[in-house]
Amino acid sequence: MKINPDQKLNTKLWEVSIEMVPTRTGFGEGLLQAGEENKNVVALTADLKDSTKNDAFAKKFPDRFVELGVAEQNMAGVASGMAAMGKIPFMSSYAVFSPGRNWEHIRTTICYNNVNVKIAGHHTGLSVGPDGGSHQALEDIALMRVLPNMTVVAPCDAVEALKATLALANASGPAYLRLAREKTPVMTTDDSPFEIGKANLLLGADKPQVGIVACGPIIYQALRAAKRLADEHIDVAVLNMHTIKPIDKKALVELAKRTGALVTVEEHQQPGGLGSAVAECLAEELPTPIEFAAVNNRFGQSGEPMELIEHYGLGVDTIMEKVKMVLARKNRSINKYERINGNV
């Protein structure tokens, strides 16, 4: 296991004292900064100004902040109309409501029109915690990934969320930004690279046996799993696939080539999420054994974030187990191949 020096990761990566900041905070800072850089940036929210971190923008640019009340469908249409007139709307709500409740409005008024609207889906994943399953969006990547014209980004920490927000403000077309409520470790730094559609290899051992592909704050669990696996002499690479659509095919194929076995990790339902995107890509490009660490056909429930992450099979132990499972599959198929070819 080797930290990729090009990534300029937080030097306190493995320390207990690593800074903890929610990705939504990075979004709020990015939104404010985007607003300062471009007067066409406007912010919309459906009665969730503070918890979606729109407050600083609203205070600084009251005319460019739009409060829509509890009406997410209307929010999508209003954002579309503003974009048609040259604005760059960022619309925020909890992901269960937007893009959940208003999915078809997003499809027709934003994607079908191909207008420049950015959808910030907040409170995604299990880490919403005590609010319970109704508020834990575990389907949003699937909902957004399936739409033509849509870009889908799930930043791993607050620093990356800030960069992603600025990058999306400068990119044209519909985009979805997946954000989380809880404080999570700040793994990257201001100097870490970020480019939409370009995955970052955080850990890249010399000869990794397994590659982990992950997105969002849960990547930290993947890093911890990789560290512990190194103690057991299993070398694991970790790829931060922050852009799920368009997926970085090149980085993915390269990792699959180098490792021959992958595990995907995401705070999302297994069907339709990052794991599906990875599997779809590799099925065409380079069929590779994959194990999925994801929520398996269940809704969430109340609890502390880490309790839930363990319960639903996204904790360090489960990720380690999946790595060993996929490694065994790889070895079995190598043995089979060698038997067929008379090498054994």
Partner 1 sequence: MSAFVILLKLMFLDDSKLKFLEQKANDIRKSIVEMLVEARSGHTAGPLGMADVFTALYFHLLKHDPKKPEWDERDRVILSNGHICPVLYATLAHAGYFPVEELKTLRKYGSRLQGHPHREFLPLMETSSGPLGEGLSQTAGMCLADRLDSGATSSRYFYCLMSDGEWQEGSTWEAAMFSAKQGFHNLIAIIDRNNIQIDGYTENVMPLEPFHQKLEAFGWHVIEIDGHSFEEITEAVGQAKAVFGRPTAIIANTIPGKGVPAFEHKFEWHGKTPSEEEGKEALKALRTLGGKIKHED
Give the residue with the Cβ less far from partner 1, 82 or 237: 82
| C-alpha span between 8 and 153 (Å, rounded) | 21
Is 72 tagged catalytic? Answer: yes
Q: Does 317 bind partner 1 (CB under 8 A)?
A: no
The DSSP letter of residue 181 is S
| C-alpha span between 299 and 65 (Å, rounded) | 34
The nearest distance, CB 166 to partner 1, in angstroms, is: 21
Give the residue with the Cβ less far from partner 1, 112 or 325: 112
- Length of the chain equals 344
Burial class (CB in 10 A: 0-12, 13-18, 19+), 27: buried
Amino acid at the residue 121: G
The nearest distance, CB 311 to partner 1, in angstroms, is: 36
What are the residues facing 118 on neighbouring strands?
A: 90, 175
Give the residue with the Cβ less far from partner 1, 108 or 296: 108
Q: Active-site residue among 29, 36, 72, 182?
A: 72
Q: What share of the chain is helix, strand, coil (3-state, %, to 5)?
A: 45, 20, 35
The nearest distance, CB 94 to partner 1, in angstroms, is: 17
H or E stretch covering 267: strand 262-269
User: Is residue 185 a contact partner of residue 222, using CB atoms and an 8 Å limit?
Assistant: no
The nearest distance, CB 150 to partner 1, in angstroms, is: 15
Among 30, 32, 52, 64, binds partner 1 (CB under 8 A): 64
Residue span 76-115 as binding mask against partner 1, x where in contact by CB under 8 A, dash where not: xxxxxxxxxxxx-x--------------xx--xx--xxx-
Could you give the maximum distance between any two Cα atoms of the chain, in Å?
74
Q: Does 51 bind partner 1 (CB under 8 A)?
A: no
User: Is residue 133 a contact partner of residue 308, using CB atoms and an 8 Å limit?
Assistant: no
The nearest distance, CB 71 to partner 1, in angstroms, is: 4
Amino acid at the residue 203: L
Among 25, 33, 51, 74, binds partner 1 (CB under 8 A): 74
User: Is residue 223 a contact partner of residue 188, using CB atoms and an 8 Å limit?
Assistant: no
Q: Does 128 bind partner 1 (CB under 8 A)?
A: no
Give the residue with the Cβ less far from partner 1, 33 or 149: 149
Q: Which residues are catalytic?
A: 72
Q: Which residues bind partner 1 (CB under 8 A)?
A: 42, 63-64, 66, 68-69, 71, 73-87, 89, 104-105, 108-109, 112-114
